[in-house]
Structures are given as structure tokens and as C-alpha cells.
Amino acid sequence: KGLPTSLEVAMMQLPSFEAAVMQAREAPKAGEVGLVVIASAYHVGGAFLSARHRGPEEEACIRSTLFPLLRLSARSVEGEEEPLTDARGKRVWIPEDGVLVCEGIRVFRGSAESCFAMLEERDIVELTVLAMSLPNLGPCYATAKQGIQGPPLGDMLPSAYEARVRQKFETVLQGAASAGVRTLVVSDDGCDDLSNDPEDFGYILGSILANTLSKALPDVIAAGSSLFGASVRAGIADAIQSRRK
């Protein structure tokens, strides 16, 4: 009762950052567009400072004012008496069951195609960034990048993965609502680096959206791959259909 009987998610086959910038330029107010960024819970900014890899978190740090806020948040976590850890006791700075809501993030550089050129003042936009981590589902023997990606959890059960990602998306929607986000851009950018299946990732999101009872639910745009977008819609359709039986 009260759950949506139909729900439409727009699809944009663009990198999530570009999709969010496009939406922000058309938004009535600054900060009303939210962008979900898959971020490292183990190393602030991912590989941003080393310049060895450019994923969604690194690009966001290059193009916006995000990185200083990430560092500030990490320092506040480090100052707490009880350390924040993952399920295996390893220290993290983004909780496994939470999300970091970063408001007032100004985008001042263009895309890689422009060599990250500085934007004119009139072209600068403001986003609300929601940083969430994902488990590293790489094989258990693949330890080369675990300093950034976290310990490999290739043996994680599908049910455990679904429960964890479901909790993360629920928190993302709560954070977006509290920040006044009206349009939320989500994509599978960064899933491949962590061996997360875009199809599973999108399907879980769709199921969450269809089962969320909230008048503050933002308009959701599925950016990234077409497989991810189709999976979000499939998750919505299956969740609504199951309630009709």
C-alpha cells in the first residue's frame, strides 16, 4: 500500500559525471542534481594523487572541489575514538552501511576530451555528490590493488552481496532526500574495476526504487552502459509485478 505502481527511469548512455553536469545546467537551483560516485573506502580519492588510474572517483576529484571535502571527512573519521572498520576489521573511512553526502561540490573543469580545461565562470555548476563504496569482488588471490580497492572478496555469496548493496542504495536515497536532491544520476561506472556485475548492480537499484515509500524520491537517471539501464528497469518491473500477484 502506498508503493509506486509505475516508475520510469530515464537512461543516458553517457559517463555519469557528464550526465550529471548536463542535468545541473538545466536545474532550477544549484545542488538539486545528485551524483552517485563509487569511491574507495580504503584510500581517500582512490588513485587521484598517484595519477595511475582514472575511474569515476578520480575524475570527480580532478574536475571539482570534491577532494578537499573527502580529505576533511576522512580526517574527522580518523579523529574518532572508535575506528571505523569493515566486516573484516580493516580500517575504512566510508562505512560499509553508509554513504558520504557532499553538498556544494563545484565543477570547474571540463571533460578529458577538453584535457580538463578550466571552465568559464558562467559554465560552473554545483552538484551534490553521494560517495558510496562497493565490495571488491576480484579473485581472492588478486591483491595488487587492495590498498585502494580493498581486500578481494571473490568468494562473497550472492545473497550477501545483494544485502550489502541494497543497504547502500537505501542509504543513498535517504541521503539524497535529506540534501534536497531532485534528480539523481546513478551509473555502473567503476563496477568493472571492482568486478561487480553491472546487471546485478542495476537490478538491485531498480528493486529498491520500486519498493521505496517516499514522496521525496528523486527522479533517477541511469547513466553508463545500456546493460545497467536495462537492468534498473527490469528490477523495477519485476518488483511491481511481484506485488500484483
Residue type (1 letter), 105: I
CA 129 to chain centre: 8
Average pLDDT over residues 65-87: 88
Position 64: which residue type? S
pLDDT tens for 170-213 read 999 999 999 999 999 999 999 999 999 999 999 999 999 998 87
How high does pLDDT run on average in the chain? 91
Q: With a cut of 70, say whether residue 169 has pLDDT above it.
A: yes
Report which of residues 80 and 70 the model is more confident about: 70
Which residue from 46, 21, 205 is spatially nearest to 116, judged by alpha carbons? 21
**pLDDT over 90 at 244, yes or no:** no
d(CA 108, CA 178): 25
Cα–Cα distance for residue pair 76/112, rounded to 1 Å? 32
pLDDT confidence bin for 54, thresholds 50/70/90: confident
pLDDT at residue number 53: 67
Q: By percentage, how much of the chain surpasses pLDDT 70? A: 94
Query: Tell me, what amino acid is at 154?
Result: G
**pTM for this prediction:** 0.93
pLDDT tens-place string over residues 11-46: 999 999 999 999 999 999 999 999 999 999 999 999
